[in-house]
Amino acid sequence: MKTTNIIKLTLWTAALLLVVGCSSTKGLGRHSGRAQSEEVTPRGKYSDQAQRGKKAKSDDTAGVQEGTDTTTVAPLDKGAYIQQVNDNAQTARFITSKIKFSVEIGNRQMTLTGNLKMKRDDVIRLQLMAFGFVEAGRLEFTKDYVLIVDRINKQYLKVPYDHLEFLRSTNINFNTLQALFWNEVYLPNGNDESALSVEQGIDNDVVLSYEYSKLSYRWLTEQETGRIKMANILYNDYYRGNSQLNWDYSDFKANERKFLPTKHVVTFTTSDKQVKLDMKLSYIGKDEDWETRTELSGKYRQVPVDDILRRFMAL
């Protein structure tokens, strides 16, 4: 497959992931008749464990999964453990890196290089490169909007978060995306962390969970360090079929006095499709010398959201 086609497919696949369910009458999941309790089968290594975390026993070994050796499991102090997880949050204001970016849809796989640039509480930017040195596409998330730029065909999609019904109704916004990219816990709807449930998992892991509306949030953490190994968000939709986002983290590297995962594996599953994105950071920097907002000339044409849905369904 030609490089330009790979980049276009990558860009519009990423765009689709961002606007899933954005219309009140259209969405990724076709009307499957599935009951809300029938969850999409998770594909991530820890997804099932995390989504089952709240179902553990309530006896002397509360929160421990069946079949686990409980003799070495110490009781958890909820507040202290949540604080341990939060203590892993990055203190850097900027994070930048070269990345290797791949997309897998069914048996089709595409690989690109690019750049990741993030400024805390302001912007997340992914630049996709052609031939290693020419920017061919850009994904930019700010606190106010999502921007997808196809520089090859001079097209773009710019969508405010509150214009997307799915994101608006579930309170998924820039802060949610930032937490996923920065390997942190974030609760929607302004709730504080006292709303979290903390349960002992298996293999010395701990599951943090939170329920909001049709959403179930799970974070699989390593008990010894409090590091987040996986984030899982399940959206239950009776009519369109359930959707699930699984974000795995590994290869943690030192970043100032904290540790940041340099490998991110993102799996998005609907009732009839699965998309997998891998991001591998080649180094961790803190470059501040870049414009945090993308300005486009009049040569670029806005692409309607419905076009993104049609392109994805044609894959």
Domain ranges of the chain: 3-313
Q: Is the pLDDT of residue 208 over 80?
A: yes
Architecture of domain 3-313: Clam (2.50)
Q: Which two tokens stand for residue 218?
A: 């799970």
Q: Tell me how many degrees the CA angle 113-118-124 measures, rounded to the nearest 5.
A: 80
Residue 107, judged by CB atoms within 10 A of its CB (0-12, 13-18, 19+), counts as: exposed
Share of the chain above pLDDT 70, in %: 70
Task: Calculate the average pLDDT of the chain.
Answer: 78
Higher-confidence residue of 104 and 313: namely: 104
Q: Each residue of 111-162: pLDDT tens digit?
A: 889 999 999 999 999 998 877 778 888 999 999 998 988 888 899 989 888 7
pTM given for the model:
0.78
pLDDT reported for residue 263:
97
Closest CA to 97 of 246, 279, 300: 279
- What is the secondary structure of 26-52 as a DSSP string? --SS------TTSPPPP-STTHHHHHT
